[in-house]
Amino acid sequence: MNLTIENIILVGSLLLLISIIAGKTSYRLGIPTLLLFLSIGMLAGSEGIGGIYFDSPQIAQFIGVVSLNFILFSGGLDTSWDSVKPVLKEGLALSTVGVLLTALGLGTFVYLVTDFTVYESLLLGSIVSSTDAAAVFSILRGKKLALRTNLRPTLELESGSNDPMAYVLTVAFLSLVVNQDKSIYSIIPFFLMQMSIGAVAGFLFGKLSKLVINKIKLDFEGLYPVLVIALMFITFSTTDALGGNGFLAIYICAVYLGNSNLIHKKTILRMFDGLAWLMQIVLFLTLGLLVFPTQIVPYMGIGLLISLFLIFVARPIGVFISLMFFKMRMRRRFYISWVGLRGAVPIVFATYPLLAGIEKANVIFNIVFFISVTSVLIQGTSLSVVAKWLNVGLPEEDKQMSPTDQLLAEHPKTIMEEIIIKEGSFAAGQKIVDLNFPKTAIIAMIERNENYITPNGSTLIEANDKLIVLTDKKQNLDEVYTALKIADA
C-alpha cells in the first residue's frame, strides 16, 4: 500500500489510535510501550498486514531528530534540580564515562566475533551505548514500583544526559569509517568541541529563553507552549551550527527552564508531556515501518550474542568502573547496570550509517534493531522483579510522589495559609513570576474585591489581595513570607 495525500491522514490517525489503545494495555501489564509501538509499525509495513511501503532513512532520521528534541526537552522540564543535585556526579559519570566504556567494551567484542573492522565495530558499540528512560519508567509506573532514595534521580539524570554522548561517539566513529586515513586521535577535538559548546549553549539559551518567556507578554495563554517549541528548535539548530551538541544543549536548557519561575509554566509542562508521548509514538511507528523483518532474520544469531554481551558484560563493566569512586551499595550498582534498556535512540542513530552509505550499514541497522528489541524483552519486562530481588524498591506503604509531581498535581496541600497584601507592600504591583516564590508552595487562589481569581505566573498582585497559599510543610511558609518580604503573621 502506497501512502497518498488522500489516505495518509486516515492511516496515520488509525495507527496513532491503535498505538494509544495498545499502550494503555501494555501499561497495565508492564509490557514496554516501545515494543508495542514498534510491533504495530512492523505489522503496518510492507511485510505486514498493512502493506505500507516505507524505505526512506532520510525521512526516518528527520522524524527521529525532531522527536528526540521533544522527548529530551520534555524530560529536562520534568527534571527536579533539587532531586538530581545530590547525585549529579554519579549521573554525569554514568552518562559520559559509562557510555564510553560500554561503547568500547561492546565494540571490542563485536570486532572479535564478526568480520567488522575496528572502526565499524566501535561504531556499532557507540550506536547502542545509551539507555531509554521513557521505556524504563513506563514499566516502573505500570508495575507501581517506586525506587529507594536517590536511585530514581540517578537513573533519570543518566537517561536524560547520555544520548548526547552516544551521538557524539556515533558521529565520530562514523567519520573514521568513512575516512580510513584519519587517526583515532582526530575525534578528541571533535568530542571536546561538541560537549563544551553544547553545555555552554544550553545554559545560555536557558537563561535567554526564560527572559523571553516572562517578558514577551503574549495575548493568549495557548501561545506560550508554541513559543517554547520555537525556542527549543532555535537552541538545537543554533548549537549544531556552532559545532556543538544540540541534544545536550536542549536538555540543559530544559532543565534550567523546568527549575525556573515561568509564566504559564503548568500549561507549558502539560503541553510538552503530551507532545513527548506523541513524538514517541510517531518515532516508534516510523522505525517499525522502516525495518524489514525478513532482513533481520539472518542476523538474529549474531544479534542475540551481541545483545547478551551488552546486557551482562559491557553495560555492567561501564557502570561499575564509572561508579568505582562513589559510595554506593553494591545492589544499587547492580540495578543501575540492569537498567540499561535500549530503545528508539539507537535505532535512530543506526540511520546515520545508512545515509553515509558505508558498506555494512544495512547489517549494522538490522543488528541494532534486534538488540533494541531483545533488550526490551529481556530487561524491560524484568525491571520490577530485579528491583524486588535486589531490595531497591520501596514497600507499598512508603511509595510517594516526587516533590515535582506533588507540586504539579491538582490536589490540595495539607497546609493552607491566607496572606493579605497590605498597601505599600513589596509584593503589591509585582507579577507572581518575579517574586522568586518557593517551589514547595503555590498561590492557589487570590481573593480580590470579593471575587476569586485563579492566578498564573503573569498575574499582577494588587494591594489588599488575599493570597490563598498551599504547601505541604509548615516550614515552607517561612520561605513564602521571605519571597513576599513581609513579616510572618
Helix H, strand E, coil C: the string for 321-334 is HHCCCCCCCHHHHH
pLDDT digits (tens, 9 = 90+) for 160-187: 788 889 999 999 999 999 988 888 888 8
* pLDDT reading at 26 higher than 90: no
* Length of the chain counted residue by residue: 489
Instruction: Output the pLDDT for position 402.
Output: 45
DSSP assignment string, 12-71: HHHHHHHHHHHHHHHHHHT--HHHHHHHHHHHHBTTSSS-B----HHHHHHHHHHHHHHH
Tell me the pLDDT band of 1, cut-offs 50, 70 and 90. Answer: low
CATH number of 412-484: 3.30.70.1450
Residue 173 CA to residue 272 CA, distance in Å, equals 33
The answer to whether domain 56-278+298-398 has CATH 1.10.3720.10 is no
Residue 350 clears pLDDT 80, i.e. is over it: yes
Instruction: Report how far residue 462's alpha carbon sits from residue 65's, in angstroms, rounded to the nearest whole number.
Output: 45
Q: Where in the chain is the domain with CATH 3.30.70.1450?
A: 412-484
Query: pLDDT tens digit string along 182-203?
Result: 888 888 899 899 999 999 999 9
Q: Residues 232-283: pLDDT tens digits?
A: 999 999 999 999 999 999 999 999 999 888 888 888 998 998 898 888 888 8
Q: Which residues of 27-64 are buried (b: 16+ CB within 10 A; e: fewer)?
A: beebbbbbbbbbbbbbbbbbebebebebeebeebbebb
- pLDDT, residue 437, reads 83
Largest CA distance in the chain: 79
Mean pLDDT for the stretch of residues 123-144: 73
Checking if the pLDDT of 19 tops 50, the result is yes
Give dist(CA 197, CA 235) in Å, integer.
12
Instruction: Answer whether 0.85 is exceeded by the pTM.
Output: no
Cα–Cα distance list, 352 to 65, 128, 331 (Å)? 11, 13, 37
Residue with cell 527534571: 79
Percent of the chain past pLDDT 70, that is, above it, reads: 88
Phi, then psi, of 327 in degrees rounded to 5: -80, 115
Average pLDDT over residues 107-128: 96
Q: Which of 222-226, 404-408, 431-435, 443-447 has the lowest mean pLDDT?
A: 404-408
Identify whether the C-beta of residue 482 lies closer than 8 Å to the C-beta of residue 453: no
Mean pLDDT of 9-17: 79
Side chain identity, residue 76:
G
Please answer whether residues 280 and 344 qualify as being in contact, where contact means their C-beta atoms are separated by less than 8 angstroms.
yes
Quick one: pLDDT at residue 407? 39
Q: What is the pLDDT of residue 32?
A: 64
Mean pLDDT is highest, among 2-6, 272-276, 391-395, for: 272-276
**Distance (Å, whole) CA 61 – CA 48:** 22
Start-end of CATH 1.20.1530.20 domains in the chain: 56-278+298-398
Q: Are 75 and 257 within 8 A, CB to CB?
A: no
Q: Are 245 and 239 spatial neighbours (Cβ–Cβ below 8 Å)? A: yes
**Does position 406 have pLDDT exceeding 70, yes or no?**
no
Dist. CA 127–CA 370, nearest whole Å: 13
What cell was used for 247?
541534544
DSSP assignment of 95-123, as one string?
IIIIHHHHHHHHHHHHHHHSS--HHHHHH
Q: Give the tens place of pLDDT for each residue, 305-342.
A: 999 999 999 999 999 999 999 988 899 999 999 988 88
User: How high is the pLDDT of residue 169?
Assistant: 94
User: Is the per-residue pLDDT at 379 higher than 90?
Assistant: no
Residue position matching grid coordinates 558484560: 313
Q: 200: phi > 0 → left, psi -120 to 50 → alpha, else beta; which?
A: alpha
Mean pLDDT of 93-97: 94
Judge whether residue 97 has pLDDT over 90. yes
Q: What is the pLDDT of residue 410?
A: 43
Specify the higher pLDDT residue, 441 or 400: 441
In terms of DSSP H, where are the helices of 179-299?
187-215, 223-241, 246-258, 265-290, 293-296
pLDDT of residue 404: 37
Position 412 scores a pLDDT of 40
Mean pLDDT throughout 144-163? 77
Tell me the per-residue pLDDT of 457-484, one tens digit each, with 9 for 90 and over: 888 899 889 888 888 777 778 888 888 8
